């Protein structure tokens, strides 16, 4: 294919991606360098019979005009990145100096908004991902052993939690685990504790969100591994059986190695998707107990009447750096593979 | 020996069957429960006193005279005008799918047929773009969109959804096109077709399975999206998913949580039907990237 033809074919999709993915990232970065204007204040002296008192009022008109002229705000450099609600460099130094032990230090850190969100996001990602891989594999093997006639039905049911909109799926679960809902009430009667409420306890809420995460993404790893199982070479299995390997041994030394490329693909997808967890926290109304990096950005953007673009921008850039760190190993490997093929 | 091996084999089988059955119950039960419960009143849907109320509809019978009621659906669709959201969703999803596929087939074809190094780099860039959290992109749109006065419009949301969708569409169609033998379009070009004519007359007619599968995934992305539609659409242009979410806040105050339940079920039904008809394509699409890439 000629360079010219290639260019014309790729033009629409490439321009869509540059305009609406690459440029917004630049725009986010620029936003993060500015802070919102301070409100324009007018100090007037109001004089009465007992002397003059200065009163301060907000000049709404001048503030609006200032916003109109410079919508980005005042230049602040990297200030927003280091302030209290982001990396909080000063606060961490302070805590470090006054701390009485590592446990205490970590507890104090969790009071800082950004670190709390980061810790939840990372915990969620690294708890949900391995669980989904293991259970997905186990269920794929199980379904593969089922009689052919019922496999279709099993796949149909399995697809539901994955394909239903995240917000709807998590809402359905949140109704069920509500103190009055069927699961919530059942748990209360099992533990004989009528005040037990998932929505009022931070640890229970974290567990619930991760249970939801596993429920929602398990079908994806299940389907992928199930498809992989269909391609396991039958003669290798036969050879293993002849050599006297048990079912479990064949599983470990034939089937799992065959599926390894799929495992790394599924892991990559799960890491990307779990790191941006957002909707379940909205549906479970979990903001008091858990914040993720994404909900942190949303709450800045919907700040009543006056969105905090700078703060949202800084968190976005930090999130993108997080994604980049997660992706680096995969990208390095792909690049090596590509070079190996080229030579 | 034989009996020992057999018994071990059957324990393994029993365990794996049990696991599958438990999973299927966990996967299906929330949906069955909610669909059934959407025809009840709130007292039954949330029945702390006795969960069997939700099955028999004790309060529903007391309040409405019958064990099933359409009050939730009536409230959501007519009183809260959920039909508007359904209409908006259809428009946005339709155009997103059409534009995504047009852009994606052209680009995917070019990438599958080009041996140049930059084709690899474009695919890598697409992979990185696929990883970008949508909310970080949305925070980049808000300010410029407000400045240019294009915030809140359906058209803006469609373009954004198309763009966010492109990396995935491109990967998927690229791997489908790689499976179509090169000889087909090349022989057409030998016969005097231009590259585009070869694409249009030879490749387009045989690519339908891949396009339908990719289209289903574009549909799902646009249909299920919460954050883009929630942040970039004005109230009258809102789609179903953010509407369901906003029901939750507004109806809880008025005590009409059943509206939200009915709306959630309404939003799930089209997907249910889609999975019923396109299960094979969805499964092949989920695995296409994995098995070949």
Interacting residues of A168 by C-beta distance below 8 A, sequence separation 6+: B241, B244, B264, B267, B268
pLDDT for the residue A256: 85
Report d(CA B240, CA B223) in Å as an integer: 8
pLDDT for the residue B208: 87
pLDDT for the residue B264: 93
Interacting residues of B269 by C-beta distance below 8 A, sequence separation 6+: none
Question: What 3-state class would DSSP assign to A268?
Answer: helix
Task: For residues B238-261, give the mean pLDDT.
Answer: 84
Q: Length of chain B, please? A: 293
Q: Give how far Cα B31 sits from Cα of A135, A140, A200, Å.
A: 21, 22, 25
Q: How far away is chain A from the Cα of B189, in angstroms, using its nearest Cα?
A: 11
Q: Is the pLDDT score of B21 beyond 90? A: yes
Mean pLDDT of chain B: 86
* Structure confidence at residue B2 as a pLDDT band (50, 70, 90): very low
* Structure confidence at residue B8 as a pLDDT band (50, 70, 90): low
Q: Of chain B residues 32-51, which have a CB less than 8 A from chain A?
A: 33-34, 45-48, 51
pLDDT, tens digit (0-9, with 9 covering 90-100), for B54-75 = 788 888 888 888 888 888 899 8
pLDDT, tens digit (0-9, with 9 covering 90-100), for A93-112 = 888 887 777 777 777 778 88
Q: Give how far Cα B201 sits from Cα of A312, B193, B195, B196, B204, Å.
A: 48, 9, 10, 8, 6
Q: Is the pLDDT score of B120 beyond 90? A: no
Mutate to test the interface with B, among A73, A80, A168, A294 (most CBs of B within 10 A): A168
What CATH superfamily is the domain B80-289? Answer: MetI-like (1.10.3720.10)
Q: Length of chain A, please? A: 343
Neighboring chain A residues of B14 at a CB cutoff of 8 Å: none
Least confident of B98-112, B171-185, B223-237: B171-185
pLDDT for the residue B292: 41
Neighboring chain A residues of B30 at a CB cutoff of 8 Å: 161, 169, 172-173, 176
Q: How far away is chain A from the Cα of B266, in angstroms, using its nearest Cα?
A: 10
* Structure confidence at residue A158 as a pLDDT band (50, 70, 90): very high
Complex ipTM, two decimals?
A: 0.88
Task: For chains A and B, count residue pairs whose Cβ atoms are closer than 8 Å.
Answer: 290
Task: For residues A3-23, give the mean pLDDT.
Answer: 90
Least confident of A87-96, A254-263, B19-28, B152-161: A87-96
* Structure confidence at residue B1 as a pLDDT band (50, 70, 90): very low
pLDDT for the residue A241: 83
pLDDT for the residue B224: 93
Integer Rg of chain A from CA: 27
CB A267 within 8 A of CB A133: yes
Handedness of CA A25, A30, A32, A37 (dihedral sign): negative
Burial B225-264 (b: 16+ CB within 10 A, else e): bbbbbbbbbeeebbbbbbbbbbbbeebeeeebbbbbbbbb
Higher per-residue pLDDT: A27 or B58: A27
Q: Give how far Cα A115 sits from Cα of A125, A160, A299, B293, Å.
A: 15, 34, 16, 36
Q: Which helix (H) or strand (E) holds A150?
A: helix A148-163
Neighboring chain B residues of A197 at a CB cutoff of 8 Å: none
Nearest CA in chain A to B45: A181
Mean pLDDT of chain A: 85
Q: What are residue A63's phi and psi, to 5 degrees?
A: -60, -45
Q: Is the pLDDT score of B4 beyond 80? A: no
Task: For residues B262-280, give the mean pLDDT.
Answer: 92
Q: Is the pLDDT score of A333 beyond 60? A: yes
Q: Is the pLDDT score of B293 beyond 50? A: no
pLDDT for the residue B290: 52
Higher per-residue pLDDT: A63 or B98: B98
Q: Where are the beta strands (DSSP E) in chain A?
A: 34-35, 41-48, 51-58, 74-75
pLDDT > 70: percent of chain B:
94
Mutate to test the interface with B, among A9, A249, A340 (most CBs of B within 10 A): A9
CA A149 from chain centre, in angstroms, equals 38
Q: Is the pLDDT score of B181 beyond 90? A: no
Neighboring chain A residues of B226 at a CB cutoff of 8 Å: 165-167, 278-279, 282
Task: For residues A101-128, give the mean pLDDT.
Answer: 87
Task: For residues B36-56, give the mean pLDDT.
Answer: 82
Q: Is the pLDDT score of B6 beyond 90? A: no
Task: From A143, A308, A125, A269, select the one nearest A209 (Cα to Cα).
Answer: A125
Least confident of A267-281, A329-343, B92-106, B175-189: A329-343
* Structure confidence at residue A304 as a pLDDT band (50, 70, 90): low
- What is the set of domains in chain A, with CATH numbers? 31-77 (no CATH), 79-111 (no CATH), 113-342 (1.10.3720.10)
Q: Of chain A residues 30-59, which have a CB less than 8 A from chain B?
A: 31
Q: Is the pLDDT score of B261 beyond 50? A: yes
A245 touches chain B (CB under 8 A): no
B67 touches chain A (CB under 8 A): no
* Domain ranges for chain B: 12-75, 80-289
Q: How far away is chain B from the Cα of A203, in angstroms, using its nearest Cα?
A: 22
Least confident of A204-218, A256-270, B43-57, B93-107: B43-57
B130 touches chain A (CB under 8 A): yes
Q: Is the pLDDT score of A49 beyond 90? A: no
**Burial of A235 from C-beta contacts in 10 A (0-12 / 13-18 / 19+):** exposed
Least confident of A103-112, A181-190, A222-231, B209-218: A103-112
Handedness of CA B98, B106, B204, B120 (dihedral sign): negative
pLDDT for the residue B289: 57
Question: What 3-state class would DSSP assign to A45?
Answer: strand
Neighboring chain A residues of B195 at a CB cutoff of 8 Å: 1-2, 5, 9
Mean pLDDT is highest, among A194-198, A257-261, A294-298, for A294-298
Q: Is the pLDDT score of A182 beyond 50? A: yes
- Tokens 């799926």, residue located: A169
Least confident of A155-159, A278-282, A308-312: A308-312
Task: For residues B155-183, give the mean pLDDT.
Answer: 90
Task: For residues A34-59, give the mean pLDDT.
Answer: 73
Report d(CA B2, CA A48) in Å as an integer: 107
Candidate from A3, A145, A327 with C-beta closest to B16: A145
Q: Is the pLDDT score of A42 beyond 80? A: no
Q: Is the pLDDT score of A53 beyond 50? A: yes
Q: How far away is chain B from the Cα of A13, in angstroms, using its nearest Cα?
A: 5
């Amino acid at each position: 294919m000629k360079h010219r033809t290639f260019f014309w074919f790729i033009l629409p999709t490439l321009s869509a991606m540059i305009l609406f993915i690459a440029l917004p990232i630049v725009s986010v970065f620029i936003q993060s360098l500015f802070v919102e204007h301070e409100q324009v204040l007018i100090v007037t002296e109001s004089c009465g019979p007992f002397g003059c008192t200065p009163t301060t009022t907000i000049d709404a008109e001048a503030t609006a005009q200032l916003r109109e002229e410079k919508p980005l705000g005042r230049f602040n450099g990297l200030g927003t990145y280091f302030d209290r609600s982001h990396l909080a460099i000063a606060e961490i130094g302070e805590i470090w100096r006054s701390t009485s032990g590592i446990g205490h230090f970590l507890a104090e850190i969790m009071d800082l908004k950004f670190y709390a969100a980061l810790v939840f996001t990372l915990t969620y990602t690294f708890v949900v991902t391995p669980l989904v891989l293991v259970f997905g594999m186990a269920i794929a093997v199980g379904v593969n052993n089922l009689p052919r006639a019922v496999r279709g039905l099993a796949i149909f049911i399995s697809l539901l939690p994955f394909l239903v909109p995240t917000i709807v799926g998590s809402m359905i679960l949140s109704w069920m685990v509500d103190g009055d809902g069927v699961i919530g009430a059942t748990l209360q009667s099992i533990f004989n504790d009528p005040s037990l409420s998932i929505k009022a306890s931070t640890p229970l809420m974290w567990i619930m969100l991760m249970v939801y995460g596993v429920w929602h993404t398990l079908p994806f790893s299940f389907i992928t591994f199930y498809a992989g199982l269909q391609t396991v070479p039958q003669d290798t299995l036969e050879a293993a059986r002849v050599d006297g390997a048990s079912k479990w041994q064949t599983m470990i030394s034939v089937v799992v190695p065959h599926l390894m490329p799929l495992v790394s693909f599924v892991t990559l997808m799960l890491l990307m998707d779990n790191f941006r967890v957002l909707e379940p926290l909205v549906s479970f109304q979990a903001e008091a107990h858990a914040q993720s990096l994404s909900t942190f950005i949303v709450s800045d953007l919907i700040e009543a009447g006056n969105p905090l673009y700078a703060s949202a921008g800084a968190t976005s850039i930090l999130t993108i750096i997080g994604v980049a760190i997660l992706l680096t190993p995969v990208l390095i490997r792909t690049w090596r593979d590509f070079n190996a093929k080229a030579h | 020996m034989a009996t020992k091996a057999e018994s071990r084999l059957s324990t393994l089988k029993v365990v794996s069957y049990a696991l599958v059955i438990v999973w299927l119950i966990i996967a299906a039960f929330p949906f069955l429960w909610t669909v059934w419960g959407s025809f009840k009143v709130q007292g039954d849907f949330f029945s702390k006193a006795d969960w069997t109320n939700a099955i028999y509809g004790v309060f529903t019978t007391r309040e409405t005279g019958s064990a099933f009621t359409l009050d939730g659906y009536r409230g959501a669709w007519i009183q809260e005008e959920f039909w508007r959201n359904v209409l908006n969703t259809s428009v946005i999803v339709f155009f997103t799918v059409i534009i995504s596929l047009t852009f994606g087939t052209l680009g995917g074809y070019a990438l599958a047929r080009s041996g140049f190094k930059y084709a690899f780099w474009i695919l890598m860039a697409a992979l990185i773009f696929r990883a970008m959290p949508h909310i970080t992109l949305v925070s980049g749109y808000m300010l410029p969109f407000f400045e240019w006065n294009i915030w809140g419009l359906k058209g803006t949301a469609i373009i954004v959804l198309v763009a966010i969708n492109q990396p995935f569409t491109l990967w998927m169609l690229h791997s489908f096109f790689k499976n179509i033998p090169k000889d087909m379009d090349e022989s057409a070009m030998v016969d005097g077709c231009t590259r585009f004519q070869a694409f249009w007359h030879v490749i387009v007619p045989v690519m339908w399975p891949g396009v339908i599968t990719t289209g289903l995934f574009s549909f799902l992305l646009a249909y299920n999206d919460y954050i883009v539609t929630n942040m970039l659409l004005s109230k009258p242009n809102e789609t179903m998913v953010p509407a369901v979410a906003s029901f939750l806040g507004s109806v809880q105050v008025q005590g009409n949580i059943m509206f939200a339940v009915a709306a959630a079920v309404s939003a799930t039904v089209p997907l249910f039907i889609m999975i019923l008809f396109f299960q094979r394509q969805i499964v092949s699409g989920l695995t296409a990237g994995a098995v070949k890439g």
